[in-house]
């Protein structure tokens, strides 16, 4: 039986004339929360995210394409989060990226321009990977948002990056799902596009809805209305919902069915079991939420045991559940580990979790007032929004990996007149040398320069790939990679080369 959230006397919900139809829950028109409950939920969202990230940290990407066995146990204790904070602060990339955006809103207000967010994370001192790092590279090299996240400029456009850092957008827009999507549209396209962008939209929508419903299944279904039905992302999550109904007591069977249908990935880490694309990792979040049935530990554990990005997925699941039930309802064993780090600044920021609680709380009240709600005395009234689907966008339309050259092998130190048939080519590799060295390369296709790129050695400024183009006609081509400024103390290592065609390889 579906239910809407009632926490009396701290919470009163003003329902529309009929909030149920045929036994199915519907969103109310308005929701009134005490400020105490609002803050408790916001704190629960942030706390859940940090706890879930820690819970799955030891297993991150150690299980790719396989479930994490039950005998793999998580060693949890009161000092575990402080240890991660001190020894491996990069684990919390989920949280410090959110913190960067929350700080910009705090400094510049709810109408802060997109360039302010892009500039803040491009010049931050923390490490980034995949779509985030590709966007940082683009921004530092003159490609501004939103083009910094577009698939033609960002090979990682479908990756999980915005999905893991969109929590803040839902936490600042309680019950206002379309307002949360509006925040996502501004910030999510800095680093992602298509399914990668939708991962963040979907997570933010679930957070926003978790303020006004404690029915996990309802939240998961309702949030999916923000994703266009034609997208691969929507189809993948719809399959999770379908298999959950078919196998309501067997999450592993649902995982297996999703793996059979959706594990194949075509871009980042193609030809590898490592899968960091948003849609399948988001499926693991949903599997945890549905089969966890509101239990905090079980929800995190199932999302983690689905594998792949097994710290980020339980982080999102636990954050959504923490928002739904509040900080005060998180089991004490997790709060005992969290509380010693709540006032410690996150890596390369001047913001702590305690700071984020307060900033998101202020921002949520501002969003409530500007979107038809009210803030009076010790309560807020939210004008709840009915979800509307974001516009359809597709990354890499009509591109399929057809061949890999040098699978897990290092190539010769040059590529010259490489013959291939296709409509795109990606050259993996990296440059090493003095820390301030910046290699310059040209990718030449059929005698014409298709791309000229700078390749910094510095880890924060690096580019993830040596060269690529998806802007050539399908057919026979030759490729040459030309190193324009070699020097004795620098080295270019060429890894695998992936060719893309206009149709899937025939079996």
Residues making up the binding site for Mg(2+) = 309, 311
Rounded Cα distance between 254 and 245, Å, is 9
Are the C-beta atoms of 277 and 195 separated by less than 8 Å?
yes
Q: Identify which of 278, 287, 314 has the alpha carbon closest to the alpha carbon of residue 216.
A: 287
- C-alpha 421: how far from chain center: 34
Are the C-beta atoms of 213 and 189 separated by less than 8 Å?
no
Q: Give me the long-range contacts of 472-475 (CB less than 8 A, separation at least 24).
A: 472/423, 472/424, 472/425, 472/445, 472/446, 473/423, 474/422, 474/423, 474/501, 474/502, 475/421, 475/423
What stretches of 282-405 adopt beta strand conformation (E)? Answer: 374-376, 379-383, 400-405
> What is the rounded radius of gyration, in angstroms, for the C-alpha atoms of the chain?
23
Rounded Cα distance between 121 and 281, Å, is 23
Q: Which residues are annotated as a binding site?
A: 309, 311
Query: What does the DSSP assignment read for 410-449?
Result: PPPS-EEEEEEEESEEEEEEEEESSTT-EEEEEEEETTEE
Rounded Cα distance between 269 and 498, Å, is 10
Handedness of CA 315, 316, 321, 324 (dihedral sign): positive
Q: Calculate the alpha carbon distances from 114 to 147, 180, 189 in Å.
A: 12, 15, 10
Rounded Cα distance between 209 and 216, Å, is 10
Handedness of CA 280, 285, 286, 290 (dihedral sign): positive
100's CB contacts (< 8 A; 6+ apart) are 117, 120, 121, 124, 349
Q: Calculate the alpha carbon distances from 200 to 245, 275, 277 in Å.
A: 25, 17, 12
- Count Cα atoms within 13 angstroms, Cβ side, for 354: 8
**Pure H helices in 57-144:** 80-87, 93-108, 114-122, 130-140
Rounded Cα distance between 181 and 193, Å, is 14
Query: What does the DSSP assignment read for 211-254?
Result: TT---HHHHHHHHGGGS-TTSHHHHHHHHHHHHHHHSTT-HHHH
């Amino acid at each position: 039986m579906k239910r809407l959230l009632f926490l009396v006397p701290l919470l009163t919900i003003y329902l529309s004339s009929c909030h149920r139809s045929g036994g199915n829950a519907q969103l109310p028109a308005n929701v009134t929360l005490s400020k105490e409950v609002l803050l408790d939920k916001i704190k629960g969202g942030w706390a859940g995210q940090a706890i879930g990230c820690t819970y799955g940290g030891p297993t991150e990407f150690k299980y790719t394409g396989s479930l994490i066995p039950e005998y793999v146990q998580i060693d949890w204790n009161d000092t575990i989060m402080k240890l991660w904070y001190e020894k491996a602060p990069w684990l919390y990339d989920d949280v410090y990226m959110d913190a960067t955006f929350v700080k910009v809103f705090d400094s510049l207000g709810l109408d802060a321009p997109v360039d302010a967010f892009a500039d803040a994370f491009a010049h931050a001192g923390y490490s980034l990977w995949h779509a985030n790092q590709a966007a940082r590279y683009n921004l530092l090299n003159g490609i501004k948002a939103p083009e910094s996240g577009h698939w033609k400029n960002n090979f990682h456009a479908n990756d999980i990056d915005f999905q893991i850092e969109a929590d803040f957008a839902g936490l600042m827009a309680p019950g206002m799902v379309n307002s949360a999507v509006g925040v996502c549209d501004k910030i999510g396209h800095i680093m992602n596009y298509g399914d990668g962008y939708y991962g963040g939209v979907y997570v933010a929508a679930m957070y926003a809805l978790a303020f006004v419903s404690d029915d996990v299944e309802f939240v998961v279904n309702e949030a999916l209305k923000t994703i266009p039905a034609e997208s691969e992302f929507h189809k993948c999550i719809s399959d999770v919902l379908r298999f959950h109904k078919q196998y309501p007591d067997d999450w592993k069977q649902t995982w297996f069915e999703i793996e059979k249908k959706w594990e194949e990935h075509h871009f980042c880490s193609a030809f590898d079991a490592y899968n960091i694309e948003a849609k399948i990792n988001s499926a693991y979040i949903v599997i945890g939420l549905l089969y966890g049935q509101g239990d905090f530990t079980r929800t995190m554990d199932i999302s983690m045991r689905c594998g792949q990005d097994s710290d980020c997925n339980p982080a999102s699941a636990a954050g959504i559940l923490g928002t739904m039930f509040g900080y005060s309802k998180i089991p004490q064993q997790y709060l005992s580990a969290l509380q010693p780090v709540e006032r410690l600044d996150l890596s390369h920021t001047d913001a702590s979790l305690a700071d984020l609680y307060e900033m998101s709380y202020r921002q949520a009240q501002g969003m409530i007032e500007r979107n038809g709600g009210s803030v009076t005395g010790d309560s807020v009234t939210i004008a709840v929004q009915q979800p509307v689907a974001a516009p359809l966008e597709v990354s890499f339309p009509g591109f399929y990996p057809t061949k890999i050259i040098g699978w897990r092998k290092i190539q010769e130190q040059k590529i010259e007149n490489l013959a291939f048939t296709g409509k795109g080519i990606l050259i993996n590799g990296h440059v090493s040398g003095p820390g301030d060295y910046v290699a310059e390369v040209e990718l030449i296709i059929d005698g014409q320069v298709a791309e000229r790129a700078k390749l910094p050695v510095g880890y924060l400024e690096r580019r993830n790939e040596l060269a690529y183009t998806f802007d050539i006609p399908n057919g026979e081509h030759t490729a040459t990679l030309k190193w324009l400024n070699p020097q004795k103390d620098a080295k270019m290592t060429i890894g695998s080369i992936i060719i893309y065609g206009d149709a899937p390889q025939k079996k």
